[in-house]
């Protein structure tokens, strides 16, 4: 399989600050490639270099067979970009935004109107085509921003945090669209904090930390390499919340995290911990409302590699939890 | 996809025009553009002309120079930092067009605005004050070349690597005001001392004002063809710092 993107020794300094540190990776044509990393790790800097918005200090980028530094225009014609902020023109209507982008990307006049109509219908915006975008919700702007990025049928699409802050319906629409585009052959470069999103969508993920690629692999291979972060999740009644310290003291539990009305108990041997939990419930006359074992999630892998605290990531994935004081990161995520 | 140098050039012109039309739709009616681009030159004119004995033709020549200068030079410093802040400039930079085409599109936006405002100023001068135009050819050429030249000058400030329009407005306003007082707009070149006149020759506005004097008053200090050549040269020369600063912006990440 040929590579859509080949990055060699890519480096970016801002003054004396090293933002991206001699990075190498390849993205195969037709794959969804996830680019994960904590804040400040170098994700957006890397993506901006790949999309020609930022000049690398060192290194080489080949994209769709072209050297990006030599003549970027042919590559740009085949590239779509959805930045983190929906950079649509709020003073224009949805239709005008699409027509502007289509003209900019030299879409033939006959095709551009039909393509704009198809996209507006796909994204549920056809009825709002003549409404100025300043009256659009965040989700509608996001959908329009993506429609603008694909109006010229790019073979390579860059998406920077496509779904944070969107409602469930918009999120699902966008994720389905990413799958459809990929099924049609579009290579997707997905920069995201949404680890579960990467898990669901990506063929491979790269985790970047402190400007360096820490690991690149498929989500399942990454998870398989981190079996030590398996867990048992239990909900007890009555007053299951009061038993956290006792559950944490059960044999084999390395640490515990409160997950809403449940406790997640991390262990290297979930099968050995299950009877311990049942015995504890019986001994204290508690009802086991739910009990399940969980393998390591991609979020666990991410936390393990980046050394992030779980609270930071949990907030970004939209879940909530009361992290116990001192409960160091590397702890579970719902799969 | 079109191939070859000619078709590539045609594509670039189409894209520059697309950018210009979009900017006209989006920004011409913005309060900032109306204030700095439309009202400011008229304010300036009336501030320095009221209660001064001045023939209608002299006033029109001054007003035309002011409108081409102030209006054209106001768009770049207004639009580009705003687009950088909103992230829409990235959309243009990532588009499959050369930086030169993008900047030419931006220059056209300011120039068209200045030409439109100059037509209003001329209509007021001719219709209300009864001024006459002696050399329509010089007037048209002066307004067009002056508008493009000053729009390119304004683009230099729009190219400063910043996302804050305020960072750009201050130096651009300082320069515009400074040039205004050294360029023979309020004090005719002929009445200036040798040092002041030498300084005036550095300012492109001097040549626009002199050309307007030729066109409306039929008297200028310099050869009108020299005025035209300097304005034409300005279109090219002022573009260079903008290109260099955009390359710097790309290194810095703006």
Q: Cα separation of B75 and B216, whole Å?
A: 27
A139-162 tens-digit pLDDT: 899 999 999 999 999 999 999 988
Nearest to B96 among A14, A73, A85 (CB): A73
Residue identified by tokens 């492109």 is B204
* Predicted pLDDT at A270: 84
What sign does the CA torsion over B160, B165, B166, B169 have? positive
Residue B107 distance to chain A (closest CA, Å): 17
Residue A136's Cα: distance from chain center in Å?
24
A206-264 tens-digit pLDDT: 999 889 998 899 988 877 776 667 889 999 888 877 888 888 889 888 888 888 888 98
Q: What integer is the mean pLDDT of A161-167?
A: 84
| Residue of chain A minimizing CA distance to B98 | A73
Contacts with B10 from chain A: Cβ below 8 Å: none
Nearest to B15 among A91, A92, A104 (CB): A104
* Predicted pLDDT at A272: 87
What ipTM, to 2 d.p.? Answer: 0.89
Q: Report the percent of chain A where pLDDT is more than 90.
A: 52
The CATH number that domain A224-316 falls under is 3.30.70.980
Chains A–B, number of C-beta pairs less than 8 Å apart: 73
Contacts with A61 from chain B: Cβ below 8 Å: none
DSSP, collapsed to helix, strand or coil, labels residue B107 as: helix
Instruction: Kindly give the confidence (pLDDT) of every residue in chain B, 254 residues in length, as a single tens digit, with 9 standing for 90 and above.
Output: 446 889 989 999 999 999 999 999 999 988 888 888 888 888 877 776 665 666 777 888 888 999 999 999 999 999 999 999 999 999 999 999 999 999 999 999 999 999 999 999 999 888 888 888 999 999 999 999 999 999 999 999 999 998 888 889 889 888 988 898 888 888 888 888 888 999 999 999 999 999 999 999 888 899 999 999 999 999 999 999 999 999 999 998 88
CB contact under 8 A, A103 and B18: yes
The CATH number that domain A3-218 falls under is 3.40.50.300
Residue-range domain boundaries for chain A: 3-218, 224-316
What sign does the CA torsion over B93, B96, B101, B107 have? negative
Please tell me the number of Cα atoms within 13 Å of A50 on its side-chain side. Answer: 36
| Residue of chain A minimizing CA distance to B102 | A104
Phi-psi region of B180 (alpha: psi -120 to 50; beta: other; left: phi over 0): alpha
Residue identified by tokens 């002309």 is B49
Contacts with B18 from chain A: Cβ below 8 Å: 100, 103-104
Residue A63's Cα: distance from chain center in Å?
22
For the entire predicted model, the pTM comes to 0.82
At A197, the pLDDT band (50, 70, 90 cuts) reads confident
| Residue of chain A minimizing CA distance to B15 | A104
What are A43's two structure tokens? 């994700």
On average, the pLDDT of chain A sits at 85
Find out whether A230 and A193 touch, Cβ atoms under 8 Å. Answer: no
């Amino acid at each position: 399989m040929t590579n859509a993107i080949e990055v060699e020794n890519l480096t970016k300094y801002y003054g004396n600050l090293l933002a991206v540190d001699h990075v190498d990776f390849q993205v195969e044509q037709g794959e969804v490639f996830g680019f994960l990393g904590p804040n400040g790790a170098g994700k957006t800097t890397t993506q901006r270099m790949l999309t020609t918005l930022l000049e690398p200090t060192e290194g080489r980028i080949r994209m769709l067979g072209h050297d990006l530094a030599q003549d970027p225009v042919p590559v740009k014609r085949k590239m779509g970009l959805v930045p983190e902020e929906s950079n649509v023109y709020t003073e224009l209507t949805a239709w005008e935004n699409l027509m502007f982008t289509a003209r900019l990307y030299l879409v033939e006049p006959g095709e551009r109107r039909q393509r704009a109509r198809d996209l507006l219908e796909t994204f549920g915006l056809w009825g709002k085509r003549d409404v100025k975008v300043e009256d659009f919700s965040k989700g509608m702007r996001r959908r329009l921003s993506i429609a603008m990025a694909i109006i010229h049928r790019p073979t390579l699409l860059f998406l920077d945090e496509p779904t944070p802050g969107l409602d469930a319906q918009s999120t699902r629409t966008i994720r389905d669209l990413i799958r459809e585009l990929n099924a049609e052959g579009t290579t997707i470069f997905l920069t995201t904090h949404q680890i579960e999103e990467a898990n669901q969508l990506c063929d491979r993920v790269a985790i970047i930390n402190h400007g360096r690629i820490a690991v690149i692999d498929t989500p399942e291979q990454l998870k398989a390499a981190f079996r030590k972060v398996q867990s048992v999740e239990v909900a007890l009644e009555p007053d299951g919340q009061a038993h956290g310290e006792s559950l944490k003291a059960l044999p084999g539990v390395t640490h515990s995290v409160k997950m809403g009305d449940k406790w997640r108990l991390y262990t290297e041997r979930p099968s050995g911990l299950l009877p311990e939990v049942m015995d504890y419930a019986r001994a204290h006359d508690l009802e086991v409302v739910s009990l399940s074992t969980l393998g390591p999630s991609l979020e666990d892998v991410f936390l393990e590699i980046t050394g992030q605290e779980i609270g930071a990531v949990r907030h970004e994935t939209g879940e909530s939890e009361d992290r116990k004081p001192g409960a160091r990161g590397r702890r579970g995520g719902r799969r | 996809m079109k191939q070859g140098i000619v078709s590539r050039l045609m594509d670039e012109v189409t894209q520059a025009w697309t950018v210009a039309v979009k900017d006209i739709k989006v920004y011409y009616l913005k309060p900032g553009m109306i204030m700095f681009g439309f009202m400011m030159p008229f304010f300036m004119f009336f501030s320095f002309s009221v209660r001064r004995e001045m023939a209608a033709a002299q006033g029109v020549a001054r007003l035309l120079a002011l409108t081409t200068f102030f209006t054209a030079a106001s768009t770049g410093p207004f639009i580009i930092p705003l687009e950088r802040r909103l992230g829409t400039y990235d959309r243009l930079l990532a588009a499959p067009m050369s930086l030169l085409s993008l900047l030419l599109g931006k220059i056209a936006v300011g120039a068209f605005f200045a030409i439109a405002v100059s037509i209003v100023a001329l209509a007021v001068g001719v219709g209300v004050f009864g001024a006459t135009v002696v050399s329509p050819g010089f007037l048209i050429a002066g307004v067009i070349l002056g508008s493009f030249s000053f729009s390119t000058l304004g683009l230099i400030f729009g190219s400063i690597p910043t996302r804050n329009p305020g960072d750009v407005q201050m130096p651009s306003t300082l320069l515009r005001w400074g040039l205004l007082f050294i360029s023979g707009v309020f004090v005719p070149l002929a009445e200036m001392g040798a040092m002041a006149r030498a300084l005036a020759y550095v300012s492109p506005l001097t040549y626009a004002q002199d050309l307007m004097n030729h066109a409306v008053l039929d008297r200028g200090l310099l050869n009108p063809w020299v005025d035209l050549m300097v304005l034409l040269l300005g279109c090219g020369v002022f573009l260079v710092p903008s290109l260099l600063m955009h390359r710097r912006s790309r290194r810095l990440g703006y």
